[in-house]
């Protein structure tokens, strides 16, 4: 008989079409082989309700709570009068709390797995102290808010600094009472250890992975591009501020200079829910904004180059791993490569600034370096980023 596991996730882990959902779903799929899983999660996109049956195939029970982002932000505002992070009331819901408590009374759980710090609030306190608790912080979110503050003006910089400070205090509280905490990369884990040294002995990391059977160049994909285009592609959720900042900077600062040298160069922004700022980039010569697509693989397979011009980034980027798995040459900022086990110059290319991006892209478009770079990138992903191999660390933590 399988042991029982309570799994709390801040966003429905299906479909696996963006960074956090790719990670949370693959964790679910892996653990379902050994555990009877009871899942509680939020749904913040009406289109995702249709995917609940897919989760039920992996779980004994699923509780999905609706989350309206606009309403959740309003619910968070009173926290500004106290010392709690805004993230906690944002993800606080009475129905979900009642369901979790009912599950505790009904089942004898071997362990609780929490995905994202805000979900830990449902299993804090003495009544959960007898159950093994493990948390996937994924990234050091408190440091992310600190970075955001540095890029914003008042009053948002004050709000973001406050969130970074109060969330770090909460992250430390959670790590102190959980049996294990882990992050998406060794670098993220080391950062948290430096911020919460008291928890360091119980802090580790579990790298992201890629389904290399799915993300493979060994299939015939119909090209979504016009003949003759030299495409640079960016993939990702386009309502995420770090992605919006990245594509805006690239389209406005890098692309025009690339097109001076390569008139057929075009920048494709591929991802769901593009903000107005992203949509407006399509008015610029050489930019295409696709919105959501059914399958990103053709866009990667037929692109000349995948770019990851992220200036604000946390942890290993799935968009980079997927492009590498598709044997595409990747040009990325140091931030987008942070924590990635890859040899710069051999498996990926790094560009520190606007001029470096322009020169690197120019060189790639003129030479055959991509013929060696792409296959080397895929080999790296196969060797270092198998989900099954990487998640064995988590299985050990849960076993105790």
pLDDT digits (tens, 9 = 90+) for 289-333: 999 999 999 999 999 999 999 998 877 899 999 999 999 999 999
DSSP string, 310-341: -SS--S--HHHHHHHHTT--EEE-HHHHTT--
Strand partners, 268: 233, 288
Q: Would you state the structure tokens that stand for residue 66, as one six-digit string? A: 């609706």
Task: Give the distance from CA 249 to its chain's centroid.
Answer: 20
- Dihedral sign for Cα atoms in the order 133, 385, 293, 366: positive
Q: Would you state the structure tokens that stand for residue 136, as one six-digit string? A: 């996937």
Architecture of domain 3-208+386-399: 3-Layer(aba) Sandwich (3.40)
CATH 3.40.50.2000 maps onto the chain at 3-208+386-399, 230-384
The CA distance from 140 to 116, in Å, is: 10
Q: Does residue 370 register a pLDDT over 70?
A: no
The CA distance from 144 to 375, in Å, is: 33
Q: Does residue 389 register a pLDDT over 90?
A: no
What is the per-residue pLDDT for 140?
96
Q: Does residue 369 register a pLDDT over 60?
A: no
> pTM of the full predicted structure?
0.87
The CA distance from 136 to 22, in Å, is: 14
Whole-number percent of the chain with pLDDT over 90:
93
Q: Give the pLDDT band (50/70/90) at residue 1.
A: confident
The CA distance from 358 to 157, in Å, is: 31
pLDDT digits (tens, 9 = 90+) for 236-286: 999 999 999 999 999 999 999 999 999 999 999 999 999 999 999 999 999
The CA distance from 314 to 201, in Å, is: 22
Q: How far is CA 185 from CA 189, 224, 242, 297, 312, in A?
A: 6, 34, 19, 25, 16
Q: Are 122 and 8 in contact (CB under 8 A)?
A: yes
Supply φ then ψ for residue 275, to 5 degrees: -70, 170
Nearest to 128 by CA among 115, 144, 111: 111
The CA distance from 326 to 209, in Å, is: 14
Q: Does residue 44 register a pLDDT over 60?
A: yes
Architecture of domain 230-384: 3-Layer(aba) Sandwich (3.40)
Nearest to 58 by CA among 96, 9, 106: 9
Cis peptide bond prior to 309, omega within 30° of 0: no
């Amino acid at each position: 008989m399988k042991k029982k596991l309570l799994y709390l996730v801040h966003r429905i882990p299906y479909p696996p079409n963006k960074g956090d959902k790719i990670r949370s779903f693959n964790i679910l799929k892996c653990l379902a082989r050994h555990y009877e899983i009871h899942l509680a999660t939020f749904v913040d996109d009406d289109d995702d309700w249709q995917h609940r049956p897919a989760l039920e195939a992996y779980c004994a029970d699923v509780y999905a709570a609706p989350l309206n982002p606009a309403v959740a932000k309003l619910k968070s505002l009173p926290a500004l009068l106290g010392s709690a992070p805004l993230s906690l009331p944002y993800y606080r819901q009475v129905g979900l709390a009642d369901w979790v408590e009912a599950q505790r009374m009904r089942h004898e759980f071997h362990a609780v797995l929490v995905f994202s710090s805000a979900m830990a609030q449902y299993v804090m306190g003495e009544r959960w102290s007898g159950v093994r608790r493990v948390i996937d912080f994924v990234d050091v979110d408190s440091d992310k808010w600190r970075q955001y503050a540095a890029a914003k003006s008042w009053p948002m910089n004050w709000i973001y600094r406050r969130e970074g400070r109060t969330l770090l205090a909460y992250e430390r509280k959670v790590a102190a009472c959980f049996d294990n905490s882990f992050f998406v990369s060794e670098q993220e884990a080391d950062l948290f250890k430096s911020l919460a040294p008291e928890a360091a002995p119980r802090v580790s990391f579990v790298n992201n992975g890629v389904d290399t059977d799915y993300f493979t160049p060994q299939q015939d994909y119909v090209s979504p591009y016009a003949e003759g285009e030299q495409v640079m592609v960016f993939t990702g959720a386009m309502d995420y501020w770090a992605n919006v900042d990245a594509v805006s900077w690239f389209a406005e600062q890098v692309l025009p200079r690339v097109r001076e040298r390569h008139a057929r160069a075009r920048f494709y922004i591929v991802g769901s829910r593009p903000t107005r700022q992203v949509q407006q980039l399509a008015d610029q010569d050489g930019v295409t904004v696709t919105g959501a697509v059914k399958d990103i693989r053709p866009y990667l397979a037929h692109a000349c180059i995948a770019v990851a011009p992220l200036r604000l980034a946390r942890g290993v980027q799935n968009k980079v791993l997927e492009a590498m798995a598709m044997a595409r040459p990747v040009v990325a900022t140091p931030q987008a490569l942070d924590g990635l086990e890859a040899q710069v110059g051999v498996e990926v290319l790094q560009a520190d600034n606007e001029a470096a991006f322009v020169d690197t892209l120019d060189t790639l478009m003129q030479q055959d370096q991509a013929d060696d770079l792409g296959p080397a990138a895929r080999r790296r992903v196969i060797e270092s980023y198998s989900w099954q191999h990487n998640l064995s660390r988590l299985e050990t933590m849960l076993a105790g």
